[in-house]
Amino acid sequence: MGVLKKRILVTGGAGFLGSHLCERLLADGHDVVAVDNYFTGRRDNIAHLLDRTSFEVIRHDVTFPLYVEVDEIYNLACPASPVHYQFDPVQTAKVSVVGAINMLGLAKRVKAKVLQASTSEVYGDPTVHPQTEDYRGNVNPIGPRACYDEGKRCAETLFFDYRRQHNLRIKVVRIFNTYGPRMHPNDGRVVSNFIVQALRGEDITIFGDGTQTRAFCYVDDMIEGFVRMMATPDEITGPINLGNPIELPMRELAERIIALTGSCSRLVNRPLPVDDPVQRCPNITMARETLGWLPTVQLDEGLSRTIAYFERILNCRKIS
């Protein structure tokens, strides 16, 4: 028996994660409506999908209501790197909160199931390690990252209030550092920064002393987690952590990328940004037990695929 065909809305559909999700949902046989205002999303990310009759793109800002008929909604719309979300912090908060309200309102009207792409940033600079879903976080509500951290926390609040008040079918996943092809080359995130600097032979900038750690999940694994979460019974709401539980110091990540690219770049240290967490790593017990999900792509394999992508776009055009 084939998959039941659904009409699925992906906000932020031209972004890094959104474009991969659209691709996956189309491959699974669904009709997909991608919505993006192209602030951080790029048409190049979805250009190869435009000739598909089951794919539709709408240029739209989710801070304004949207009227479409869909069965499921993946709410991914929001700038997700400090460079982008701090560019216009008020708008970032509006996208997180008003965008969530609009997508929840849409889901209520059309009786759709809706998944919120939340973030490990809801944990702030954690005092518990690794982070479990019941940890309530250590967030500075007035700091430069708060527009995103608190915006996403408020979005989660709204999702669960809509569940309690309107019995809406909700799913919430908390995304930990994800990387792969189609990352924005100027998003300021560590993987894209290091790869672009290494390919150009520039100094690789390490903030702090390089001992701070992150755990990196390849994009295909993350998308698999999204799809599995959406398919769970209605009583499973999350939040559920999705990420790779294997930690890596920033200095070691830089050294791996230098080795994989054959670069002669040097490592240089810069001061750690305000409120930048020293450690962040997911406890994924809930994802493993509830979704049967585990990351499968090894770091060097994922980095090699990501490096190949950046080599292509650096050869095709100058990144400015």
Q: What is the pLDDT of residue 276?
A: 66
Cβ-Cβ contacts under 8 Å for 317 (sequence gap 6 or more): none
pLDDT band at 318 (very low <50, low <70, confident <90, very high): very low
* Active-site residue, 148 included: yes
What is the pTM assigned to this prediction? 0.93
| pLDDT at 81 exceeding the cut of 70 | no
Catalytic residue among 74, 85, 123, 148: 148
Query: Do 145 and 275 touch, CB atoms closer than 8 A?
Result: yes
Q: List, in order of start, the domains of the chain with CATH numbers.
A: 7-180+217-245+275-296 (3.40.50.720)
Q: Is the peptide bond before 130 cis (omega within 30 degrees of 0)?
A: yes
Matching residue, tokens 């990352």 = 183
Q: Stretch 220-232: mean pLDDT, rounded?
A: 98
Q: What's the confidence (pLDDT) of residue 87?
A: 74
Contact 283, 242 (CB under 8 A): no
Cα–Cα distance between 154 and 168 in angstroms, integer? Answer: 17
Q: Tell me which of 248 and 316 has the higher pLDDT.
A: 248
pLDDT at 244 over 90: yes
Contact, 84 vs 40, CB < 8 A?
Answer: yes
